Amino acid sequence: MGRRLFRNKRGKDSSGSWKNRLRYSFLPVIRQRGVYYAEQGRATLKEVSQERILAVVQGSRLYTTSVVDRRSKDGKILISCTCPFFQQGFPCKHLWATIIEADRVLAAEGRPTLSSNGKPKKDWPKEKADWRTLFTDALWQRNQAVPPWLDGSSKFLLCYDLNVTSLAVKISVFERYLKKDGTLGRERKLQAITIEHRGLPRMDRALIAMLENISGKTARNNFFRYYRASHRDFVDITLEPRDLELVLPLLAETKRCRVFLSDEILLADPLLKAVPSAASLEFTARQKTKKVFKLVPSVRLKKDGKDVLLSNIPVFFHTSPVFFIYDGYLFELFGPSLSWIKALLKSEKIEVSTEDIRDLLVRAESLAGSPNIRLPEGMAPETIKDLLPRPSVIVELEKGLLKARVLMTYKDMEIDWHDPRPFVLDTERWKRFKRNKEAESEILAGLAARGFRQKDMLFQRDIKGAADVLSELAEEGWEIRGRNRKPFRGGRVTKLGISSGIDWFDLEGGISFGEHIVPLPKAIKAFMRGERTVKLGDGSTGLLPEKWLSSNLPVLELGIASGQRNSSDKTLRFSSAQALVLDALLEENEVESVDRRFLEIKNALKNFSGIESFPVPAGFKGMLRPYQEDALGWFAFLKRFGFGGILADDMGLGKTIQVLAWLAGELENGKEAPSLVVSPTSVLFNWQAEARRFVPDLKILAYTGNNRSGLIKEMDRSDLVITTYGLVRRDIKILKDLQFNYVILDESQAIKNSNSQIAKAVRLLRARHRLCLTGTPLENNAGELWSQMEFLNPGLLGPRAVFDRRFAKPIAGGDKAARNTLKQMVTAFLLRRTKEAVAKEILGKMEHVILCPMTDGQAKVYSQVRDHYRASISATIERQGLNRSRIKILEGLLRLRQAANHPALIGKDGVGSGKLDRLTTLIEETISGGHKALVFSQFTRMLGLIRRSLDNAGITYEYLDGRTPQARRKDRVRRFQEDEDIKVFLISLKAGGLGLNLTAADYVFLVDPWWNPAVELQAIDRTHRIGQDKKVFTYRFITAETVEEKVLALQEKKQEMVSAILSGGQDMLRRLSREDLDILFS
């Protein structure tokens, strides 16, 4: 919609009414036509106040107008209208009609008017007045005698002569002297100084500008540049019909225009505007004979209700509407064209037979702006007023738009909304119904409020939501039809039903359109294609219930997706895990039948508020805390209904032993197939060690190495198979044909990319039950959640594209409703306990040993170092004896410990470290859970390698070793304690014992063992100082199959010797036997 801003230039002289605030922004002719529209009741206000007006105005079509007073903010008034005239940059009659109607309503309601600055107007100061002074002719005529724009330097006014001939209409501009009594005297040529005057009235400025444009001359810039204008420049300018439409009303407004007929007959002096100016054409039927009537044409003047014979009007202008002059006044005749009037005037007589009277009336009524025909009493049709129209609409869908032809029905007679005829004629019953324009405007305003916008003679709106809008209109009494005149039928959802199979449910139902029912799958697929209607069997059109489909589409789409495996085209198929979301759909609709299995699963999921503890199997050799026993109850729940689940406890809460305890129970119940654990290579040794420790009866098979084909046969004789993600991806063609009892994915974030090879591979594994283990919270990672749920409960969250559109993208944008819906869908399948939630069940410090396998390159380097020192030490001992070889032994042990940490510590750059990889993974998991960690190492070079790894991962941290200046130590500790973005503190073991208070951390990672347990304890206690309110978990990293693991095995039996090895103390090494050396360097 175009908009224009007007500044109020009248200052304090402006009246508080809308009309007076804006009158100088509208041409007089425009104001005149606006008044006529207002008097016809064409303006319907939607909102009105002293600051704002919104309205719809019935013109040749329906236009929307608005006026907003912003003077208190920026001194401007904003106006707008959707009509073409306004779009060209001119204030229009529709806006003026809006303003007139607004002032009328505000005055009727007694609301206070505003002053020019937008504030309540104060009364003028009152003073005593003498009535003799007040009622004098001099005061009464003063403003008429001397126009306010004359400043005394000029006594001449612009005047105009209009000469009308049969060939043309011409205008001349000149000046006349203004006498003291206010009358006009002698004439003179047009002077430049007159039209240059700043105070020249708006209507004169407009006229001069128009005439300059019409004549093709720019008087001000050319001819009047040196004030030597020729009077011939504005003499006998020919006005075309399009010019007359604007010029004539302005001339009448000046009251300084004479009109001549053929240079001789004076028609008006001056030409005045009629108020109101509207006139209508009428015919009076006078009986000539019994069977013949004579039609006498006349014009009825709205100004005084006078009827004037058409032949008595001296001149009609070729304009639309047709202007004419009568008795010195300018009138407008709406309806007929000038050609039609000329034909009428040429006719000597118009006669019509009695039997043709009805046909005459029908023909007259069909004309735009039809003339009124007065018939003798008894012959005229009965006129019925005060009827309310019944609206109907003929619609079609085209290029994403709903297009509507609007009709108004009076009794059984239809008429287009834009038809200008004031009556609807019923020739069969010989009645005519007066149209209720006010009611029609209200009806059209209702369309506008529903998003319809007028274009040409139609209304249109975006197709989105169109079906619901049409249904609303139908409920309000509108008749909705298609172009073929077949009706549009509103659709309603039928009663729904549920039936079940082995691991699925079928939703039965449809959309009812009276006698026609469209199955839900067909309706939903049409809706998803962007269609909002369906064709019915009888050729009519069904309106899909768009609001219902839109609100329930997240659930319905799940059924469509899984329905690809459904042979029926009349039902939607859902997996058993989707019972809860399916039940949400049923709660909002009428249900016809639901089978027992659905109710059982639905109730189990709906009433799921946690889990109950489960007895610990006898085969499990360990103690479970209460929250860990609860997990066994959750595993039992999942198994009962065939669901998969994610155990997402915080790191350190024992996810591995909870699963092992459950597998011990499976072993006792008699397994039919082995279970498979898939893990990163870095935790494979931990699974083997923990399984042997806590469930010694389990027959464990490590599916690793180069001879894996030979291990396939051993799987049937095994209880638990442990392998890595890489090997599953490599051997999936073999593994996919094997049957497993459980498939358990440890650190299941490994399949977070649903399109990755490993994610696709694990989905191909065959298992009765499935579990995922992760310490990474999934609440803020919808994509990762989908990938794991698709492995556990295929189809639960729908296809990935649907999931992204319905959940992932809205959640990323902060959509709480989408987040809550997703949470409801997965609550029963996701078990997560935080450290804080189970803190009361954790007694003392929690310490764990992490066995880290070496990378292939690291294992090769370690073997080379070990073999070198084993041979070198053996030769030295042969030559010098064991006691005299202590320095060489200590050197070898140090190099092996460094290689176990990272080959770079012994100069082997470019080779990875299994310990560093595992450490980085656990740090990331710790951070994702919202925790902070301390990382200790006795090797500052190892801390440097860890720093580089954290930098690559984008993890912020603080660093402290023995060389850190004392002044900086406090700042780094403070930042770690207070800054939520700093989650990791790297500290050398020696620096860690020097007066640090690091209670913000609740995880401690010891990268390498230290000789003195007291030093380790001192480092760990950095987190246990006064103020710590969290449980602290400590992880010791040991590289498997290295000197670190061997020292760990010897630690309990030979603590003093271990201390000597780790500290480098030569005295202690005297107790080291040859057998001990063989073990350490093996």
User: Which residue pairs, CB below 8 angstroms and at least 24 apart, start in 22-26?
Assistant: 22/67, 22/77, 22/79, 22/91, 22/99, 24/202, 25/79, 25/91, 26/91, 26/95, 26/96
Segment among 337-341, 418-422, 891-895 with least mean pLDDT: 418-422
Can you give the residue ranges of every domain in the chain? 4-109, 150-268, 272-380, 385-482, 490-605, 626-838, 846-1080
Q: What are the residues whose beta carbons fall under 8 Å from the beta carbon of 271, sequence distance 6 or more?
A: 162, 251, 252, 255, 257, 258, 259, 325, 328, 329, 330
At residue 720, the 3 state secondary structure works out as strand
Rounded distance between C-alpha atoms, residue 876 and residue 815, angstroms: 72
Q: pLDDT class for 231, splitting at 50, 70, 90?
A: very low
pLDDT score for 419:
79
- Look up residue 576 and give its two tokens: 């058993």
**Which pLDDT tens digit goes with each residue over 505-526?**
788 888 888 778 888 888 888 8
* Residue 193, helix vs strand vs coil: helix
Q: Is 1008 helix (H, G, I), strand (E, B) or coil?
A: coil
270: cis peptide before it, omega within 30°?
yes
How far is 240 from 775, CA to CA, in rounded Å?
A: 86
What value does the mean pLDDT of the chain take? 80
CA nearest 874: which of 1039, 1054, 1080, 1053?
A: 1080
What is the residue whose two structure tokens read 């549920």?
498
Beta strands, E only, 807-913: 830-831, 846-852
Instruction: Give the tens place of pLDDT for each residue, 182-226.
Output: 788 888 888 777 776 666 788 888 888 888 888 774 444 433 333
Kind of pairing between the strands at 329-333 and 322-326 = antiparallel
* Separation between Cα atoms, residue 1040 and residue 915, nearest integer Å: 9
Angle in degrees, CA 597, 602, 605, rounded to 5: 130
| DSSP code at position 81 | E
Q: What is the pLDDT of residue 270?
A: 92
- Annotate 1009-1030 with DSSP letters as a single string: --S-HHHHHHHHGGGGSTT--S
589-597 mean pLDDT: 72
In this prediction, residues 705-724 reach a mean pLDDT of: 90
355, 462, 516 from 540: Cα distances, Å: 42, 22, 10
Which residues does 874 contact at the CB level (< 8 Å), separation at least 6? none
Does domain 626-838 correspond to CATH entry 3.60.21.10? no
Gyration radius of the chain over CA positions: 48
Q: What pLDDT score does 226 carry?
A: 31
Please say if the pLDDT value at position 286 is more than 90: no
Between residues 1019 and 231, the one the model is more confident about:
1019
Write out the two tokens for 663: 């597998």
Q: Which residue type sits at 58?
A: Q
Looking at the DSSP bridge assignments, the partners of residue 395 are 404, 482
Cα of 600 vs its chain's centroid, Å: 38
**What's the pLDDT tens digit per position in 134-162?**
333 333 333 333 344 444 445 788 999 99
Residue with more model confidence, 847 or 845? 847
Percent of the chain at pLDDT > 90 equals: 23
Q: How far is it, in rounded angstroms, from Cα 92 to Cα 65? A: 10
451 vs 576: which has the higher pLDDT: 451
280 sits in which H/E element = strand 272-287
Q: What's the gap between Cα 639 and its chain centre?
A: 41
Stretch among 56-65, 109-118, 704-713 having the lowest mean pLDDT: 109-118
Angle of CA points 232, 233, 234, to nearest 5°? 90
**In whole angstroms, what is the distance from residue 809 CA to residue 279 CA?**
63
- For 492-520, b where at least 16 C-beta lie within 10 A, e where not — what string? ebbebbbebeeebbbbbbbbbbeebbbbb
Return d(Cα 822, Cα 828) in angstroms, integer.
Answer: 12
Q: Parallel, antiparallel, or unpaired: how do β-strands 453-455 and 458-462 relate?
A: antiparallel
Classify 889 as helix, strand or coil. helix
State pTM to two decimals. 0.56
The verdict on domain 846-1080 having CATH code 3.10.20.740 is: no
Put the strands of the sheet holding 423-426 in their side by side order.
Answer: 382-384, 431-434, 423-426
Q: Rounded to the nearest 10 degrees, how much is the dihedral formed by the CA atoms of 349, 354, 356, 360?
A: 60
Look at residue 935 and tell me whether its pLDDT is greater than 80. Answer: yes
Which residue from 1044, 1024, 1043, 1046 is spatially nearest to 1033, judged by alpha carbons? 1024
Give 638-691 pLDDT, tens digit per residue: 888 888 999 988 888 889 999 999 999 999 888 789 999 999 988 888 899 899
